[in-house]
Amino acid sequence: MNTIGVLTSGGDAPGMNAAIRAVVRTSIYNNLRIMGIKQGYNGLINGNIYEMNISSVADIIHRGGTMLKTARCDEFTTEAGREKAMTVLKVFGIDGLVVIGGNGSLKGARELSKLGFPTIGIPGTIDNDLGYTDFTIGFDTAINTVIDAIGKIRDTSTSHGRANIIEVMGRHCGDIALYSGLAGGAESIIVPEEGFHIEEVCKRLIQSKNRGKLHSIILLAEGVGNIGNAYELGDEIQKYTDIDTRVTILGHLQRGGSPTAFDRIIASKMGAKAVEILMEGKTSRALGIKSNKVFDMDIEEALSVENKFDTETYELTKILSI
């Protein structure tokens, strides 16, 4: 192993920069050449690649986003696109690749591995939707952003005696809603993994209003189907309860911001480990974190682990919000 390439792909996540920094610095420490690939698989196919050095990653550990930029690349999902990528890797003399991204990005890493190219995947997404790992880089920062927003919305909710729906990201996964709802003391949490009855949400709202509670926070995960959109849900709730209801969609706010210490730490550990295992000659691996320990496993196997929703914590949120 002489030259390693690194790219970030898919939706950006706070902490990606810390992971890039760790990949770059661990490579240089071990006398390897390190190439930054810009704009994910797009940059790989188009040769948007440059050599990095120690200072390339100075002053980035605390910054959100990704200094290598990112993209969602349709061309790479085709065989022709991947063949092009293989040629570019050869032209640039890259002999090992680290891919930092979510589900789709790790699938891309798996495909390159299948073509025989040594590739390691690092989980970077705010969604926390990869079942093989306890945490993905960016999730902790995102839920901290959400609880900050919940606190602010609760202030105005209390002043007006309203119900406030807060819609959060997560694609098909309810983890952002669940954990920020628990930490933010939400009255109701609506996630795609659990059945949802509007009557139950309304009953809870009316009960807490009758008890003299002045605010109500309803956390809604974006992936919940069959309720129309957040505004339609707000209209329904207002109709059934007669409680003035407002909606806030947090959107891309959740993707930015300075990463938390936790995200910086797991990103740094995984970035370093990716280089170490490439040097050991391992390929086709995905990195993860379990019981506070970074581990690697076969990427195909990792991607086939079902993402289990934490129903125990979900039940706890119901008890704590009575």
Any idea which residues carry the catalytic annotation? 127
Nearest residue to 4 via CA among 263, 267, 283, 289: 283
User: Which residues define the annotated binding site?
Assistant: 11, 21-25, 72-73, 102-105, 125-127, 154, 162, 169-171, 185-187, 211, 213-215, 222, 246, 252-255
Q: How far is the CB of 209 from ligand F6P (least distance, A)?
A: 32
If the CB atoms of residues 22 and 169 are measured against ligand F6P, the closer one turns out to be 169
User: Which residues define the annotated binding site for ATP?
Assistant: 11, 72-73, 102-105
Q: How far is the CB of 212 from ligand F6P (least distance, A)?
A: 36
8 A C-beta contact, residue 44 and residue 7: yes
User: Which residues define the annotated binding site for substrate?
Assistant: 125-127, 162, 169-171, 222, 246, 252-255
Q: How far is the CB of 124 from ligand F6P (least distance, A)?
A: 10
* Extended beta strands in the chain, E state: 3-8, 33-37, 49-51, 96-101, 119-123, 163-168, 188-190, 216-221, 245-249, 285-290, 293-298
If the CB atoms of residues 187 and 222 are measured against ligand F6P, the closer one turns out to be 222
Q: Which contiguous run of DSSP H or E holds residue 152? A: helix 139-160
If the CB atoms of residues 222 and 296 are measured against ligand F6P, the closer one turns out to be 222
If the CB atoms of residues 65 and 271 are measured against ligand F6P, the closer one turns out to be 65
User: Which residues define the annotated binding site for Mg(2+)?
Assistant: 103
Q: Site residues (CB under 6 A) for ligand F6P?
A: 11, 102, 125-127, 169-171, 222, 255
Q: How far is the CB of 19 from ligand F6P (least distance, A)?
A: 16
Report which DSSP code applies to 115.
Answer: T
Chain Cα centroid distance, residue 122? 11
* Rounded alpha-carbon distances, angstroms, from residue 244 to 54, 209, 252: 55, 12, 26
286 three-class SS: strand
| DSSP tally for the chain: helices H, then strands E | 11, 11
**End-to-end CA distance of the chain, in Å?**
57
Name residue, tokens 């989980």: 123
Query: For residue 187, what are the contacts with CB-CB under 8 A and spacing of at least 6?
Result: 204, 205, 208, 213, 216, 217, 218, 321
8 A C-beta contact, residue 133 and residue 297: no
If the CB atoms of residues 92 and 132 are measured against ligand F6P, the closer one turns out to be 132
Q: How far is the CB of 250 from ligand F6P (least distance, A)?
A: 10
